[in-house]
Amino acid sequence: MLDGRGAVKRRAGARLWMSGLWLGLMALLALFAPLISPHDPLAQDLFAGRLPPFWVDGADPAYLLGTDSLGRDVLSRIMHGARIAFSVALVAGLATALVGSLLGLLAGYMRGWVDVVISRLVEIWMAFPPVLFAILLIAVLGTGLTSIIIAIVVIDWTRFCRVVRAEAMNQSAMDYVSSAVVAGRPRMDILWREILPNVLPTIVALLTLEMGIAVIVEAILSFVNLSISTDAPTWGGMIAEGRTSIYQAWWVLAFPLGVLFLTVLSFSQFGEGLKDRYDPVLR
């Protein structure tokens, strides 16, 4: 049993280090992009259009990852695109976690009519197709990062609510909760001081997963020109542009697509690693 727990912790540690290093690197690039990006991400130079990466013949050393069809630096646009992606991930993820976790905790512990009302609301909300719902919300609210964040929160709070509700119900049946009830402690005190700390690893894992989903949603909406302005350096917009010129300039599609894939994967693995490392059951 101890060997099994040790293996789980070793795997969790490896996932935490690998995913954490990538996310840390991307966060630093996003934070300091205006200072360290080699070029203006919006500056166009038609004479430098579709230059290949530095290791390919015909490359310009000034453009390490090449340029797109308008001569814009791919590396600089990826850096500034990280600012948009991480801003959406952080704000939308935290807001979604707050709303969904709060409702899930109340439904799972209070039970009764509170659980019935929240559960019915979740069922009604989940009846709407999420992608169509997001597009409808963006059409109503208008394009922009604020609209994207609101759409993500409105759609994805049910994910937190369902999982946290189930975890809160499981924790409510534990002996430590029964002992607190017998001791006469207030219900809300038991909820915040006893149940919440034991549900927190699950919330953290869901939060990191939700941040990855938020990055994907923003990329999808920018891919179909429903994010911010079409010339803004978003990963989805770069992928959409690269798709049209994949045979002439494969790097315009490959690099933002690879960064998007690794970022979403790292968010997922980082959350799973945190859950395995700090889960109270494993400890």
**Cα–Cα distances in angstroms (integers) from residue 166 to residues 7, 44, 111, in the given order:** 27, 53, 11
What CATH number should be reported for the domain holding residue 253?
1.10.3720.10
Domain count, the chain: 1
Residues 6 or more apart whose Cβ sits within 8 Å of residue 151: 133, 134, 137, 138, 141, 217
**Domain range for residue 233?**
2-278
99: in domain = yes
168: in domain = yes
177: in domain = yes
CA Rg value for the chain: 22
What is the Cα–Cα distance from 108 to 103, expressed in whole angstroms?
9
pLDDT tens per residue across span 24-72:
999 999 999 999 999 999 888 888 888 999 888 888 888 999 999 889 9
Residues 6 or more apart whose Cβ sits within 8 Å of residue 69: 49, 50, 241, 245, 248, 249, 252
230: in domain = yes
189: in domain = yes
CB atoms within 10 A of CB 38: 12
59: in domain = yes
- Angle (deg, nearest 10), helices 145-172 and 74-110: 40
What SS3 state is found at 74? helix
Answer for the pair 75, 60: CB distance below 8 angstroms, yes or no: no
283: in domain = no
Q: Within the chain, which residues score under 50 in pLDDT?
A: 1-2
What pLDDT is stored for residue 263 in this prediction? Answer: 95
What pLDDT is stored for residue 104 in this prediction? Answer: 92
Q: 67: which strand partners?
A: 73
